[in-house]
Amino acid sequence: MWGGRFSDTPSGIMQAINVSIDFDKRLADQDIQGSLAHAAMLAKQGIISSDDHAAISQGLAEIKAEIDAGDFAWSAELEDIHLNIEGRLREKIGDAAGRLHTGRSRNDQVATDFRLWVRGNLDHFAGRLDALIRALVEQADANTDTIMPGFTHLQSAQPVTFGHHMLAYAEMFARDKSRMEDCRARMNESPLGAAALAGTPYPIDRDMTADALGFDRPMANSLDAVSARDFAIEALSAASICATHLSRLAEEIVIWTSAQFAFISLSDKYTTGSSIMPQKRNPDAAELVRAKVGRIVGATTSLMIVMKGLPLAYSKDMQEDKEPVFDAFEALDLALAAMTGMIGDMTPNKDRLAEAAGAAYSTATDLADWLVRSLNMPFRDAHHVTGTIVALAEKQGKTLDALSLADMQSVEPKITDDVFSVLSPLASASSRLSYGGTAPSNVRAQVKRWKKKLG
Ligand code: ARG
C-alpha cells in the first residue's frame, strides 16, 4: 500500500510484530459499515463519482458476504483488517477501490471501527445485565420471607431474608448497567473524517457519516479523535467493577454450596463431579466467574499502561488496544451468562437457612432493643445486660429464645414474657421495617418495584 516510497519488503520479524489481522478481523463488520458511510458521503459531496460509489458499495457487500460465509482469505501480508478489505475490494472493482480512502486514514478508520465495536458490546451487556437482574428478582420474589443469617466479618450478625440478599446484588448490577450506559453516551462521537491527524482538505461532511453510523456528532478535535482510547478504558473500568460484583456473588455461591454451609444447592447443570472423589459436586462455574475478574481488571491495567505517556496523535502502540478489550469482554459476557444461569438454577435450603439464622445468638440486638423500648433502658446498659444473657445461654448451650424467663430475670428482673416475641429470627427480620431494611414486607415492595422497572 505504500510501495512508492519502499523498494524492499519488510523482514519476517517486522511483519510478525506488525501484523494484527489475526485479532482485528473481528472488526470486519464495523470496518465495512464505516467504509459504506464514508463512500456515501464522498459521493454526496461530489468527491467521488456515483459510479465509483455504486461499485464500492456493491464490492463491500460482496466482501461482507464472503466474510460471513467464512470464505474470505485473510492475508498477513496485508497487515490488518483495513488493508485486507481494501485489498479485496481492489481485486473486485479495480481503481475505484483506491478512491475509497480519499479524505480518511487508517487512523480515523480504526478509531471508528473500535468505537463501534465497543459500543455494540456495551449495548449487549446492558441486555445481559437485565437478564441477570431479572433472575435475581425472581429468586427474591420466591424468597421474600426465607430467613437466613446476615453476616458481618462472615460472622453471623442479624437475620435477614434471602430475597433481601438477592436484591442487594440487583442494585449493584443495575448500577453496572447504568455505568455502561453513561460510558456509551460519552463515547458516542464519531472520529471518522479526522483523517491521519489533522483533518482533510476535501469538503467532507462529518455530520453525515456520524449520523449514518449512529453517532451523536463528530468529534470536535481531529488530534483527539485519532488518539483517544479513554472510551475503551472507561468501558473496561465499568466491566471491571461489574466483574468484582460478579466475583463477590460467585464467592457467596461457593461458600453457600459447601457442605459446612449447605445454604443452597446447584443442579447438575452448573456443577461438575470429581474424577477421584465420587461424593463431590464442585461449583466450578461459580469459581470461574470469581476468577474472570482477574483478566478483566488486568485488561484495564494493560490498556491504561499502553496509553500512558503516548504523545499525540496516533502511535502504533495503539494497535495493542484491542486484544485486552476483546478478551475482557468475552470473559465478562460468559461470566454474566453463567451467573444468570446459576441464579436461576439455585435452590435455597430453607430449613438449613432458618436453622443457621437462629444460631450464634443472632437476635441479641433484638433483645437489647426490647430492653430499650420496653424497659426504657439506655442502649449501652441494654447492650451490657444482653451480653450477660448471651453468656448464660452459651453456658447452657441454648439459643436465646430457648432460655427460660427465670434465667433472663436472673440477669434483669424487669424482663417479662413479652421478650420472646422478638427473639425468633423471623420476628427479628420482620421488625426491620426502616426504608431499605430486610423485613419481608419491604422485600415484597422492592420486588414489585423491580418488576415494574424491568417491565
Ligand atoms: N492496525 C492499526 C491499528 O490497529 C491500524 C492503524 C494503522 N495506522 C497506521 N498509521 N499505521 O492501530
196 CA closest ligand 1 atom index: 10
Kindly write down the DSSP assignment for every residue of 303-370, as one continuous string. Answer: HHHHHTTPPSS--GGGGGGHHHHHHHHHHHHHHHHHHHHHHHH-EE-HHHHHHHHHSTTTTHHHHHHH
Residues 290-346 have pLDDT tens digits of 999 999 999 999 999 999 999 999 999 999 999 999 999 999 999 999 999 999 999
Mutate to test the pocket of ligand 1, among 110, 307, 326 (most ligand atoms within 8 A of CB): 110
Where does the pLDDT of residue 361 fall: very low under 50, low under 70, confident under 90, or very high at 90 and above? confident
Calculate the average pLDDT of the chain.
96
Q: Give CA–CA dist 365/428, Å, rounded.
A: 9
Q: What percent of the chain has pLDDT over 90?
A: 92
- Please give the distance, rounded to the nearest whole angstrom, from the Cα atom of residue 70 to the centre of ligand 1: 24
pLDDT score for 121 = 98
- In this prediction, residues 199-206 reach a mean pLDDT of 98
- In this prediction, residues 43-63 reach a mean pLDDT of 98
Query: Does pLDDT of 107 surpass 80?
Result: yes
Where does the pLDDT of residue 359 fall: very low under 50, low under 70, confident under 90, or very high at 90 and above? confident
80 CA closest ligand 1 atom index: 1
How far apart, in Å, are the Cα atoms of 131 and each of 148, 191, 268, 412, 455? 25, 32, 21, 52, 12
Q: Give CA–CA dist 29/376, Å, rounded.
A: 71
Residue ID of nearest Cα to ligand 1 atom 3: 319
Phi (first) and psi of residue 216, to 5 degrees: -75, -30
Query: Does pLDDT of 273 surpass 90?
Result: no
Where does the pLDDT of residue 1 fall: very low under 50, low under 70, confident under 90, or very high at 90 and above? low
Query: Does pLDDT of 277 surpass 90?
Result: no
Confirm if 304 and 233 have CB atoms less than 8 A apart. yes
Residues 77-104 have pLDDT tens digits of 999 999 999 999 999 999 999 999 999 9
114 CA closest ligand 1 atom index: 4
Higher-confidence residue of 277 and 127: namely 127
Mutate to test the pocket of ligand 1, among 80, 86, 322 (most ligand atoms within 8 A of CB): 80
- Please give the distance, rounded to the nearest whole angstrom, from the Cα atom of residue 316 to the centre of ligand 1: 6
- In the three-class reduction of DSSP (H, G, I as helix; E, B as strand; rest coil), residue 198 is classed as coil
Triad 406, 409, 414: Cα angle to 5°: 135
- C-alpha cell belonging to residue 246: 460478579
20 CA closest ligand 1 atom index: 1
- Please give the distance, rounded to the nearest whole angstrom, from the Cα atom of residue 314 to the centre of ligand 1: 8
318 CA closest ligand 1 atom index: 12
Mutate to test the pocket of ligand 1, among 107, 112, 116, 312 (most ligand atoms within 8 A of CB): 107
314 CA closest ligand 1 atom index: 10
Mutate to test the pocket of ligand 1, among 113, 316, 323 (most ligand atoms within 8 A of CB): 316
Query: Does pLDDT of 6 surpass 90?
Result: no
pLDDT score for 2 = 62
Residues 115-130 have pLDDT tens digits of 999 999 999 999 999 9
Which of 365, 324, 134 is closest to 239 using CA atoms?
324
- Please give the distance, rounded to the nearest whole angstrom, from the Cα atom of residue 126 to the centre of ligand 1: 30
Residues in contact with 13: Cβ distance below 8 Å, sequence separation at least 6, in sequence order: none
- Please give the distance, rounded to the nearest whole angstrom, from the Cα atom of residue 18 to the centre of ligand 1: 9
- Please give the distance, rounded to the nearest whole angstrom, from the Cα atom of residue 79 to the centre of ligand 1: 9
Residue ID of nearest Cα to ligand 1 atom 4: 319
- In the three-class reduction of DSSP (H, G, I as helix; E, B as strand; rest coil), residue 398 is classed as coil
Which of 66, 112, 111, 85 is closest to 1 using CA atoms?
85
Q: 348 has which bridge partners? A: 264
Residues 222-272 have pLDDT tens digits of 999 999 999 999 999 999 999 999 999 999 999 999 999 999 999 989 988
How far apart, in Å, are the Cα atoms of 25 and each of 9, 51, 99? 23, 28, 22
Query: Does pLDDT of 281 surpass 90?
Result: no
- Please give the distance, rounded to the nearest whole angstrom, from the Cα atom of residue 122 to the centre of ligand 1: 23
HSE-up of residue 81 (Cα within 13 Å, Cβ side): 25
H-run or E-run covering 190: strand 189-190
pLDDT score for 3 = 66
H-run or E-run covering 72: none
Kindly write down the DSSP assignment for every residue of 15-26, as one continuous string. Answer: HHHH--HHHHGG
Q: What percent of the chain has pLDDT over 70?
A: 99
Where does the pLDDT of residue 7 fall: very low under 50, low under 70, confident under 90, or very high at 90 and above? confident
- Please give the distance, rounded to the nearest whole angstrom, from the Cα atom of residue 321 to the centre of ligand 1: 11
Residue ID of nearest Cα to ligand 1 atom 12: 319
pLDDT score for 276 = 76
Q: Give CA–CA dist 140/39, Å, rounded.
A: 52
- Ligand 1 contacts (CB < 6 A) are 20, 24, 80, 106-107, 110, 314, 316, 318-319
Active site amino acids: 153, 274
Query: Does pLDDT of 362 surpass 80?
Result: yes
Where does the pLDDT of residue 360 fall: very low under 50, low under 70, confident under 90, or very high at 90 and above? confident
Q: 272 has which bridge partners? A: 282
- Please give the distance, rounded to the nearest whole angstrom, from the Cα atom of residue 80 to the centre of ligand 1: 8
Mutate to test the pocket of ligand 1, among 229, 319, 321, 322 (most ligand atoms within 8 A of CB): 319
